[in-house]
Amino acid sequence: MDTTVYHGGVRAGMQQTQDDKPLHGAALWAAVLAARDSMPAKLRAIAAFVAEDPSDFIRMTSREICGRLGTSEPTLIRFCRSLGFAGLAEFRIELALALAAQSAATAVHPLADDRRLANPDAKRRIATTAMELLRDDHAILIDNGSTVEIVAELLGQSDAHPAMTIMTSGLVVAQHALRNGRHRVMLTGGVIRSSTGSLTGRLAEGSLNGMNFDTFVMGADSIDPEGGLSTYSEDEAHVTRAMVEAATRVIVLADHTKFRGSRLHRICGLARVAILVTDRMPAEPICAALEGAGVRLIVAGDSAQNSRE
């Protein structure tokens, strides 16, 4: 596993890689609305459903959507690809971001399965890199989310990694971390959010009072140069903020799609982050913001991605 480390800013000679998804935010909505008139009939029906009831489109399974519209899963995938996305999961995550950017009241959290299907190889590279950063820790907090779930999976599989105390707000994270029986695993407590399998509420926040952990391994739904790190739901933001305050060091794991500039429910500013691990070099505004905040940037990838030009 090759990684490139940046202590703020861009390494000379490294070409920045931009997000290859052309549509997001207002542009995505405009494309969906235009598709209702310009696409073939079967795709127009999908576009109309997205435009009229985006929340249901995000929450329903692909089989439920197909049953409702009388269409097939290949046709559903074709619609997503016609807008520049690899598949349904990537499109729905971007749609949820666009919906949240319109209004906090309309925000819908993407399904956990969609998040796990999006950029799985990049997320595994990020998680593998993050493992090396935890070797000297004795007690860590782990967030809820698709990339940090892989960190917990790796911790639960490794007999070489030192045993540690792990506290998390994620049910799947806890299950993965328990697998080899080496780690002491605790849940924050709280109300279970069914769409994400995460624990939220005052009980979750209160359980962190007076506790101190070496590191918080954190995910983020959006990273903005000015707004910092944010997430879809307000109650989840409160819990994540409490986890930030309970840790000496914060390591953020975020693939390149998180650098969107969509400001959701704020968790914290970049200055609270010690290390950011991602899969591609962010755009210049993000790099400049990271450098200004003193964040150590690590790009995890293969040698072709990280070689000098």
Instruction: Give the tens place of pLDDT for each residue, 30-56.
Output: 899 999 989 999 999 999 999 999 999
Q: Alpha-carbon distance 225 to 79, whole Å?
A: 32
% of the chain at pLDDT higher than 70: 87
pLDDT in tens, 194-212: 878 889 988 988 999 889 9
Residue 309 has pLDDT above 80, yes or no: no
Residue 92 has pLDDT above 50, yes or no: yes
Q: Alpha-carbon distance 91 to 43, whole Å?
A: 14
Q: Say yes or no: 162 and 233 in one domain.
A: yes
- Listed residues 63, 96, 117: the one ending a domain: 117
Q: Residue 30 belongs to what domain range?
A: 25-117
The reported pTM is 0.81
Pair 107, 222: CB distance under 8 Å: no
- Listed residues 67, 86, 117: the one ending a domain: 117
Q: Is residue 281 assigned to a domain? A: yes
* Structural domains in the chain (count): 2
Q: Is residue 222 assigned to a domain? A: yes
Beta bridge pairs of residue 231: 265
Pair 266, 228: CB distance under 8 Å: yes
Residue bearing tokens 């609305």: 33
Q: Say yes or no: 85 and 198 in one domain.
A: no
CA 302 to chain centre: 21
